[in-house]
Amino acid sequence: MGATQISLAERREMVEKNHPRLSLVQQCILLNICRSGIYYASKGRASADELAVKAEIDRTYTKMPFYGVERMTEHLRKKGFTISPNPTST
């Protein structure tokens, strides 16, 4: 069975960071994966609060696309959300 027939997640799990004979580079070449991928850690799913903020941003932006970061942040705070300005600018 070739390395590409095994799922990417399974191939990542096969890498041994302290292998006595094969370096990480050699293992990644053999498994056909990017070396940066073995360090990847999923952030997980967005929380219910984050989803609620994003939904409100979407609703508000659809109605008022001229709102900038400051106005959107003010609007969200008036609606009861506790946020910093950064989430509205991404």
Are 2 and 13 in contact by the 8 Å Cβ rule? The answer is: no
In the chain, where the domains are located:
3-39, 48-89
Helix (H) or strand (E) holding 69: helix 69-78
pLDDT for 4 equals: 53
Whole-prediction pTM value?
0.49
pLDDT level of residue 81 (50, 70, 90 thresholds):
very high
Structure confidence at residue 1 (pLDDT)? 54
Which tokens go with 36? Answer: 């940066």
Tens digit of each residue's pLDDT (9 = 90 or more) over 6-55: 898 899 999 999 999 999 999 999 999 999 888 877 777 878 888 999 99
Distance CA 76, CA 90 (A): 15
